[in-house]
Structure 1
Amino acid sequence: MSGLDDVIAAETRLSEVDGLNGRLVICGHSLESLVGQKSFEAVLTMLLPDLLSSSEEAVRAELAQARLRAFREVARLDTDLVSLSVTEALRVLMARLPDGEDKLVALLQIAAPAVFVPALIRAKARKKPIPPHIGRSHAADMLAMLTGDLPGDEQIKALDTYLVTVSDHGLNASTFTARVVASTRAGYASAVLAALGALKGPLHGGAPGPVLDMLDAVATPDNATAWLAGEISRGERLMGFGHRIYRVRDPRADELKSALKRLGAAGGMDANRLALAEAVERAALAALRAAKPDRVLETNVEFFTALLLEALGFPRDAFTGVFAAGRVGGWVAHAHEQIATGRLIRPQSVYVGPKAA
């Protein structure tokens, strides 16, 4: 029972993770059919059809208004809060939002990370936070609040691809946490806050940043094979490779790699950085197959997430917060589904302690 492997804990219409075949299905659509075809707002209409408006345009407008409401909390940033990590400060700001099980609370929870993360990044750099703009898409506004400039189409499409790609992914640790809390009828905000706490762990959403540390250490493509072999011989984990569910390549990795190539130099993707990453990926896969032939350790979502978010201007200590900005749609959808169709989640345990005297 360790890790609850193979235990069915919920029935859901939201997403299916087919680990054997490397497929992710969100609301009846393959990830491949969503990326580039559906915006983050459109995916939200699929995840929450009976809570949010049915049209992409309406959700875009409602989410924009929710971003404005979230920005009111930015005025309460103080020195102590800014001194925290982006993830810890994000948790504090999210905890200040109202709770409940209604549409306005749901929209505010979905909107807030996209507002708070750029504001915290700027505040930590001693820059003034930038307010949201109601005429922009969620991805475009998040980038504009980060840099102060109107992003190009390449950057908007790249971030939107990321938000769609990570919007939901079965019953992962943070989503399961959200469902457990929602089952108590604590409210969407409580469910999201608990999920964010689970996401920050290095075995979940806290993992993409170290991918860049690895690339920095390798430095050049020629060093990749020797450096990676040394890490494996010391028993170190190669960040960005292997997944608990996928027995083949993580389909999200392919979509993000394609997004990086579409982003190109015009969108901020350094060609040398991408070439280094591709060399490290090839060397890592070869080294892992040789060292651990009995295990399937393919490229996962973290590897190209790190490169994409770096190219878009997000510092690596903010990657978990950007992850939350995409996954929060799934968290709210699972909380909503649990409230509507589930009951209090209360599993049993097997006592293995000392017998009573």
Structure 2
Amino acid sequence: MRIFYGVQATGNGHITRARVMAPALKAAGFEVTYLFTGRPWDHLFEMEVFGDYLWRKGLTFSTKAGRVSYLKTSVHNDVLRFVQDIRTLDLSHYDLIITDFEPVTAWAARMQKREVIGIGHQYAFGYPIPKTGDDILARTVLKYFAPASVELGLHWHHFDQPILPPVIETPPEPEAVLEQKVLVYLPFEDIREIVALLAPLREYEFHVYSPAVSRDRPEHIHIKQLSRAGFQRDLRDCSSVICNAGFELASEALQMGKKLLVKPLRAQMEQLSNALGLEQTQLGAVMPELDRASVIHWLRNGHAVRVVYPNVASHIVGWLKSGDRHIDHAWVRSVWDEVRYDYGADPERRANAA
């Protein structure tokens, strides 16, 4: 069976999920062509697992000072080229079409009257799950950005809805966890503000991954360029993670049992809702703004939760092979039955989880 798989590449989360799906699909005998959009071609890195993949400009969201800028978004997106990419993408040679919130694939499939399966976190918002920052613009973007015929939503908790756990790798156990080591990934924030936030906290070692560079920093703040291998090494042996409220990195942190503090991207309904979901399930802490007092309180008083997720990619591949496009509630429940929550020594959280 030949599959066309579109992946939104604006952030790293969608690509990370596709990295997990790729070997599972290959092992099942699927022949897959991948398309990446939303990021310049020369900014894609470590893409070997996807073979001879395709690229289009697509659509992306622009940010400024830690929030979505709809003005910059409208100016920077080339709508005419986007429409041309949709019209010229021929899907007739493929048996199955998948989109991970990737709009060129989704709209090309719709125009060619083809069924398209949406796999991703955004598709969970079609169900009554925790939401905030929800307005007509946010609802319109979620509904029409990358529409799918069949939607497989993913989330950290099922919220009694037919959505699946995250698609993530099962990481190797680190030789040791460094209690004072904190991984920081806030790519939408000004690197100078991040340095100013963390500079007085000299009892900790902060490993900050950023697309920007700052040479004016104290010795306990290590600023690093984006590298999947390096990032994964630091994620494995750190004790804590500070990040925006995206889905994939928080999922990996939970799987590894890292203490988690998120700063949601302002004016972005998905991230605001993710932060709310983390608070409601007591899986992580939230700071609405970059705030040193919040960071100090979390570092000294926060608790880690480890969530052991099953191999969701293999469950999805099995579902794809079955040919049944109905999302069966019993199947979804059986996947969640494999999830294990470890609240450690925090008695309040263990009691609430019971």
> How does the TM-score come out when normalised to structure 2?
0.24
Which structure carries more strand by proportion? 2
Q: Which has the higher contact order (CA 8 A, sep 6+)?
A: 1
Which structure carries more helix by proportion? 1
> How does the TM-score come out when normalised to structure 1?
0.24
